[in-house]
């Protein structure tokens, strides 16, 4: 999305840089991302919802090994696609969405590629991608930020949404509204790579410390900034 859609507040909000630095000190700098072409990133991101990264990556590799080209994947039967991605979450629906999306991309552009998106504005890319079944702000954000398109955007998964709500940065779970709120306070100096790094740090934090059912608040490097964590640790102290 274009930066003009997210006007900056008059007073600079330093919470995101503080959070980022605390997580960076705690986990260390993530390894550089392998940037894929937009279509490969699209396929990966479409399959990744509610599924661990290593399982999704293995599923994408199986699709490549079995079908050879994305055109062959597009033309495969739903049964063949579902069998190949069977260990990801919701394989039946994702097989339907994946095949339909690849067919519709081909119908709209004339060939199966997303490379042409490089000439579009970021907001137009995201609107174009979100036409397809199963594609929302998370997937479009991933494609524009993680792929070789390398645009400024936030990819908000369930971990990211949970953490920013617990930190009090937002009060709702809507992905598009949350991204809009956060992009208003993202520093101007944060480029696409920095936004990617921030996403990866927050995602790891959600997987290891700020988990859904068993958050380890007493060990959290963000505890001093987190109303939820302070409440949790106070309750634990009171109960002992």
Final residue belonging to a domain, choices 105, 125, 146? 146
Final residue belonging to a domain, choices 101, 116, 146? 146
Number of domains within the chain: 2
pLDDT at 30 over 60: yes
**Is 165 found in the same domain as 85?**
no
pLDDT at 11 over 90: no
240 assigned to some structural domain? no
Task: Look at residue 6 in the predicted model and tell me its pLDDT.
Answer: 54
**Is 100 found in the same domain as 44?**
yes
pLDDT at 203 over 90: yes
**Is 142 found in the same domain as 64?**
yes
**Is 214 found in the same domain as 129?**
no
Who's near 155: CB < 8 A, 6+ residues apart? 45, 138, 141, 142, 145, 146, 199
Task: Look at residue 171 in the predicted model and tell me its pLDDT.
Answer: 85
Residue-wise pLDDT tens digits, 120-142? 999 999 999 999 999 999 999 99
pLDDT, averaged across the chain: 93
Contact 2, 122 (CB under 8 A): yes
Which pTM was predicted?
0.90
Final residue belonging to a domain, choices 146, 174, 204? 146
239 assigned to some structural domain? no
Residue-wise pLDDT tens digits, 51-104? 999 999 999 999 999 999 999 999 999 999 999 999 999 999 999 999 999 999
The CATH number linked to 223 is 1.10.1670.10
**Is 204 found in the same domain as 126?**
no
Contact 202, 159 (CB under 8 A): yes
Who's near 232: CB < 8 A, 6+ residues apart? 215, 217
- The residue segments making up the domain with residue 112 are 38-146
Assign 3-class secondary structure to the chain: CCHHHCCCCCCCCCHHHHHHHHHHHHHCCCCCCCCCCHHHHHHHHHHCCCCCHHHHHHHHHHHHHHHCCHHHHHHCCHHHHHHHCCCCCCHHHHHHHHHHHHHHHHHHHCCCCCHHHHHCCHHHHHHHHCCCCCCCHHHHHHHHHHCCCCCCCCCCCHHHHHHHHHCCCCCCCCHHHHHHHHHHHCCCCCCHHHHHHHHHHHHHHHHHCCCCCCCCHHHCCCHHHCHHHHHHHHHHHHHC
**Is 139 found in the same domain as 192?**
no
Which of 30-44, 115-129, 170-184, 195-209 comes out lowest in average pLDDT?
A: 170-184
Task: Measure the CA angle with vertex 6, ends 187 and 131; round to 5°.
Answer: 120
pLDDT at 10 over 50: no
Distance between CA atoms of residues 166 and 5, nearest Å: 25
Average pLDDT over residues 11-36: 93
Average pLDDT over residues 184-195: 96
The CATH number linked to 126 is 1.10.340.30
**Is 216 found in the same domain as 188?**
yes
Q: Residue 239: which pLDDT band, with cuts at 50, 70 and 90?
A: low
**Is 197 found in the same domain as 160?**
yes
**Is 142 found in the same domain as 58?**
yes
Distance between CA atoms of residues 116 and 103, nearest Å: 16
Average pLDDT over residues 190-211: 97
């Amino acid at each position: 999305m274009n930066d003009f859609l997210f006007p900056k507040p008059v007073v600079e909000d330093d919470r995101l840089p503080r959070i980022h630095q605390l997580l960076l000190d705690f986990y260390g700098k993530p390894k550089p991302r392998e940037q894929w072409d937009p279509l490969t990133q699209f396929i990966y991101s479409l399959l990744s919802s509610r599924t661990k990264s290593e399982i999704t990556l293995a599923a994408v590799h199986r699709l490549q090994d079995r079908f050879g080209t994305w055109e062959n994947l597009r033309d495969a039967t739903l049964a063949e696609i579902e069998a190949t991605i069977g260990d990801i979450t919701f394989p039946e629906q994702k097989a339907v969405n994946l095949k339909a999306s690849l067919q519709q991309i081909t119908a709209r552009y004339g060939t199966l590629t997303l490379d042409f998106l490089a000439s579009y504005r970021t907001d137009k890319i995201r609107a174009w991608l979100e036409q397809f079944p199963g594609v929302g702000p998370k997937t479009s954000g991933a494609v524009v930020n993680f792929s070789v398109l390398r645009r400024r955007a936030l990819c908000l998964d369930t971990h990211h949404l949970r953490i920013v709500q617990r930190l009090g940065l937002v009060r709702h779970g809507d992905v598009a509204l949350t991204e809009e709120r956060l992009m208003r306070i993202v520093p101007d100096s944060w480029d696409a790579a920095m936004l990617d790094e921030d996403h990866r740090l927050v995602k790891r934090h959600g997987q290891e410390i700020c988990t859904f059912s068993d958050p380890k608040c007493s060990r959290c490097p963000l505890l001093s900034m987190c109303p939820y964590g302070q409440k949790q640790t106070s309750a634990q102290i009171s109960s002992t």
